[in-house]
Each structure stands twice: as structure tokens, then as C-alpha cells.
Amino acid sequence: MNKTKNKYHPPSRIMGSLAIILLNSLLLFHSVYSSHAISQPSDHGKQNREIVVISKDSTKHFKDSMSPVGYDGSISATQPFPEWLADFTYLKEWPGIDPPYVPLSFIDMNQIPNSVPIHEMGACPGDRTGCSFDCHKCVAQDDIYTCPKLSQSFDDGPSPVTTRLLDNLQHPTTFFTLGINVVKYPEIYKQIQAKGHLIGSHTWGHKFLPSLTNEQIIAEIEWSIWAMNATGNHIPKWFRPPYGGIDNRVRHILRLFGLQAVLWDYDTYDWQLLNNQRTEQQIFDEARSWLASSGGQKRGMILEHDAHDRTIDVALELSNNIIGHDQLTAAQCVNGVEYIKTFGVDNEEYAAAAAVNVNENFIYVS
């Protein structure tokens, strides 16, 4: 990292934003973990189920989904804060649950659509032109929401239980990680990587993006990318929005980073195991029905969580005894690239430069 410090300098235009960054960082130190981010899943689920409308035949497989776990606020980051990021952000450590917005030279805030109404989770606007997935199950052309083979995917990690999944899973799969967990469990992240699985971003801190300002959305995305870059030496291509919260404003920002959304058409609701709203048997029965649906084509993208022992047990039963090992990663589902860029450990300077210019040379798959 030392060579990076001497050779890499942030773009001069970024320097003008120093005051904003310093202000944000000061605010950061005074921030507290918000109840919004750590609300109990039962609250989220109840709120969403009451309001989401599913009406069209084409959306019959979609269901609303809440996820169980965010992060453990009592665990500190162990991934070192890289010097290139310190040079760029003027911070010294990874942020907490509310990451500061760091302006990026390739983002023109004036181009971000202002016609999409900001909405809280479950408080859906009547206007559907924003193409909300969480409200109306609307998908854009470049959203991935299914797969030619019925395939599992896992959100909210890495977590301590992820290792048991890694030890027993016999096929490549996709993990959508939270930046705040990546820097808490960097060794588990590297195990995911070493096993050949695909890793995508699930934001920094699991907020419901359509309720946030543009700056807050950018912060959630950029910090997740930096966490993955610092830990895995790569820049993600694939992104899963927490709670399925995505609309055309969020998509516009994602595209600036070269990211594409990976949604789902089958939901295990595995987090409901944790508050006894659901049983393992229910999940297994539904998975068998998914295999039989659509004339037995065995296609689809399944949402799960590597977050708790019981969700890991379900994942392994699904993989080993119900769905089988003939599965695809999200990238394989669309014959897409795995990452926008990957770097060797001897090329950290380039990685650092790319980390703040991540929209270079990205490829869209649709």
C-alpha cells in the first residue's frame, strides 16, 4: 500500500468537495445506529405485506420480501482502512451504519431523475412510471430477475455462519454482501472468493434505497464497492437492493457505477424462520412446487440469506436434496462478466484509481 500512497492522488476536482466530506465525517462521528436500519424483521414484513400489490399474471411468482439481518453493531471492522481510501476520503476508518457521501467526479447530480417520488418502504406512490420493484414488481430491461436454471442466492453476509455454507455447498452460487459486514468479516469474504462463488453488492448498510436522498444512495453504493475492493481486489458488477427497493432513480445511480440489479422470482422468506412465522417444511414444499412450475423448466432465481444457522440448514437441504447442484451464479444466468474489474495484489495502485472511477469500461448485459 505504501506505493499507492505516493503515486495515487485523487482528481483535483474532488478536492473542492473537501468541505462537504469533512462536514459529513463530523456528522458521522455524532451519528447513532438508527432504529430504521435494525428494525425487527417482523415489523418490516408486516408493513410490506399489507401494502404491496401483486395483480398481473406476469408477476404471479413475485412476492414481497424482507430480510432478517443487517449487521451486528457490536462488532468492529477488522479489514484495514486502505491508504488510497484515506487519501481520497480524508477519513481514517470505515464508517458506521450511516456512511458519509463522498462526491465522485463521474456523477452528475443534475442528470439523476427527479420525477421519481421518494417513498418509504410500503408507502407506495400511485404513479407507476418510476418502475418500482418493491411496490409494483416492475423490472427494467437490464434487471436480472430469473435464471435459466433454478438457482439459489444469498444476501446480507458475510456472517460467521457463512463458513458452514461454504464448507458444504457443492456448486457455485451468488453472495450479495453488505459492505459493513465485509469489513467486519474480511476473512470470510475471502473464503467466499476462494471457493469460486460470485460476490455482488447489497449496499453498505442495508437501507431501503427509494426512501433516501441521491447523496445517501450514492454513499450506500460507493462504500460497498470500496469495501469489496479493499477486501477482494475487485469491483462488483451485480447488485441486489435491500428489500427489493429499486426504482428508476436508484437504477440511474446504479448504472453510473456500472452495476446491474439482480432481483428474484422466488422467495424462501427464510428470515421468517427466526420469528416462527414459517417452517422449514413450508420452504421445502414451495421449492418443490417451483421445480414443477412452468412446465418443469426448473428456472428461477431464489432469494435466501446466509445469516443464521437455520437459514443455512435450509440452504443446504435445498441444494443437496431438493434442487440439486446444477445451478448458476447470477453472472452465469445471463452469460455476463463476474466483476467490472479484478486486480492482482501487486496492482493495488491501479485498483485504487479504478475504485474512484468505477464506471470505466463496464459492460451491460440484458
Nearer of residues 104 and 219 to Zn ion, judged by Cβ:
219
For residue 65, the minimal CB distance to Zn ion (Å) is 8
The residues that are catalytic are 155, 305
Query: Residues 307, 68: contact at Cβ < 8 Å?
Result: yes
Among 64, 98, 134, 156, binds Zn ion (CB under 5 A): 156
Please report whether residue 242 would count as binding Zn ion according to CB under 5 A: yes
By rule CB under 5 A, what count of residues binds Zn ion?
A: 4
For residue 233, the minimal CB distance to Zn ion (Å) is 24
Nearer of residues 102 and 180 to Zn ion, judged by Cβ:
180
Please report whether residue 241 would count as binding Zn ion according to CB under 5 A: no
Sequential DSSP letters for 123-186? ---S--TT--HHHH----TT-B---SS-EEEEES---TTHHHHHHH--S--EEEE-HHHHTTSH
Q: What is the Cα–Cα distance from 177 to 239, expressed in whole angstroms?
A: 9
Q: Cα-flanking dihedrals φ and ψ of residue 76, to 5°?
A: -95, 160
Please report whether residue 338 would count as binding Zn ion according to CB under 5 A: no
Please report whether residue 270 would count as binding Zn ion according to CB under 5 A: no
Nearer of residues 135 and 353 to Zn ion, judged by Cβ:
135
* Stretch of 40-48, 242-250, 313-321, 323-331 lying at the interface with Zn ion (CB under 5 A): 242-250
Instruction: Name 214's bridge partners.
Output: none
Nearer of residues 204 and 257 to Zn ion, judged by Cβ:
204
Nearer of residues 104 and 217 to Zn ion, judged by Cβ:
217
Q: Cα-flanking dihedrals φ and ψ of residue 101, to 5°?
A: -75, 125
Query: Residues 159, 206: contact at Cβ < 8 Å?
Result: no
For residue 305, the minimal CB distance to Zn ion (Å) is 7
Among 155, 222, 304, 306, binds Zn ion (CB under 5 A): 155
Among positions 52-71, residues that touch Zn ion (CB under 5 A) are 67
Q: What is the Cα–Cα distance from 272 to 346, expressed in whole angstroms?
A: 44
Residues that bind Zn ion (CB under 5 A): 67, 155-156, 242
